[in-house]
Amino acid sequence: MDVSGKGVFLTGGARGIGRGMTEALLAKGAKVLFCDLIADLGKAAEADLQKQYGADNVVFRQCDVTDGDQLKGEKFGAVDICVNNAGIMDERVWEKMLAINTTAQIRGSQLALDHMRRDRGGRGGLIINTVSLAGVFPSYFFPVYNASKHAMIGYTTSWAKNPKMGEMGVKWRCLCPNAVNTNLLVFEENQVYDGDKFLEWIKPRMLEPEEVVEAFMKLIQEEEGDGVIYGVFKGLGGVFKKRRLVDADGESNPIVVD
């Protein structure tokens, strides 16, 4: 999709990957309403971005995505692209994590679909859920985070397969980066299991946020390709992936399931 002049709603945009996505979309001429829980960071980002791209093109709202009423109330003209990106990684508060990573992404998708669907007067659109490679592969370091992301792959790909989606005019995609150098990876003890081991294991393949943003922009602008899982890997950029089940020992004997 050509994003120029399009309306975007994006969650978790005050920092990290979401902050970069917001700026990249503005640079291509989109109008962005971004929200976040952290008001001071969000307002600072808004001031900065408005200076560069104009106050009519970018607005910040403080919003807790787990509050359905707050999420519903966010309006900034028509939304052509919805990016459900806010997420946390903290096994100690696993119910809250499911509320943010899964329930809120589902609610955001549902609201966007109702707004966009052509068969009910909307003008179509694109829904992108920021998932993770943790939604595709098992990782013992963070079981609930992993489950929260697996759920979003199931949800997003299921809507994408709906035979009436053509009529509705809405496309669905999952952005699945490998680990990214953001605040999400700064954790306290017990936030994940064997966190130091995870970081040591993942370090050589760790992405910078800009690499993910670049892949995200390709994914948005991609017209073709029915793959809804877009893996982002160090040195490879973004690639459409088929969903695979792997044995308990990891990579051996993957089974292609779609």
Ligand X SMILES: CCCCCC(=O)CC\C=C/C=C/C=C/[C@@H](O)[C@@H](O)CCCC(=O)O
Ligand Y SMILES: NC(=O)C1=CN([C@@H]2O[C@H](COP(=O)(O)OP(=O)(O)OC[C@H]3O[C@@H](n4cnc5c(N)ncnc54)[C@H](O)[C@@H]3O)[C@@H](O)[C@H]2O)C=CC1
Does 211 bind ligand Y (CB under 6 A)? Our answer is no
Residues numbered 29 to 58 that lie near ligand Y (CB under 6 A) are: 36-38
Among ligand X, ligand Y, none, what does residue 74 contact (CB within 5–8 Å per kind)?
A: none
Is 145 among the residues known to form the active site? yes
Nearest to 76 by CA among 164, 154, 13, 151: 13
Comparing every residue's Cβ against ligand X, the nearest one is 132
Among ligand Y, ligand X, none, what does residue 81 contact (CB within 5–8 Å per kind)?
A: none
Q: Of 59-67, 192-200, 216-224, 244-252, which segment contacts ligand Y by CB under 6 A?
A: 59-67
How many whole angstroms separate alpha carbon 116 and alpha carbon 195?
40
Among 192, 213, 215, 232, binds ligand X (CB under 6 A): 192
Among 10, 17, 111, 126, binds ligand Y (CB under 6 A): 17
Residues numbered 72 to 91 that lie near ligand Y (CB under 6 A) are: 85-88
Tell how many helices (H) and how many strands (E) occur in the chain.
Answer: 9, 10
Which residues pair with residue 173 across a beta bridge? 128
Structure tokens at 197: 């081991």
Complex with ligand Y: residue 50 or 62, whichever CB lies closer:
62
Among 22, 102, 130, 146, binds ligand Y (CB under 6 A): 130
How many whole angstroms separate alpha carbon 178 and alpha carbon 161?
25
How many whole angstroms separate alpha carbon 117 and alpha carbon 166?
10
Catalytic residue among 53, 140, 145, 230: 145
Residues numbered 56 to 95 that lie near ligand X (CB under 6 A) are: 89
Nearest to 26 by CA among 213, 223, 229, 232: 213
Residues numbered 167 to 186 that lie near ligand X (CB under 6 A) are: 178-179, 184-185
Does 34 bind ligand X (CB under 6 A)? Our answer is no
- Contacts with ligand X by CB under 6 A: the residue count is 14
Cβ atoms 208, 221 nearer than 8 A? no
Does 148 bind ligand X (CB under 6 A)? Our answer is no
List the alpha helices (DSSP H) in 131-194: 143-160, 165-168
CB of 234 to ligand Y, least distance (A): 12
List CB contacts of 200: < 8 A, sequence separation 6 or more.
none
Collapsed DSSP state (helix, strand, coil) of residue 200 = helix
How many whole angstroms separate alpha carbon 52 and alpha carbon 23?
10
Does 187 bind ligand X (CB under 6 A)? Our answer is yes
| CA distance to 178, 179, 194, 211, per residue, from 205 (Å) | 7, 7, 18, 12
CB of 167 to ligand Y, least distance (A): 30
Complex with ligand X: residue 189 or 223, whichever CB lies closer:
189
Residues engaged in binding ligand Y (CB under 6 A): 11-12, 14-18, 36-38, 63-66, 85-88, 100, 130, 132, 177, 179-180, 182-185
Residues forming the active site: 145
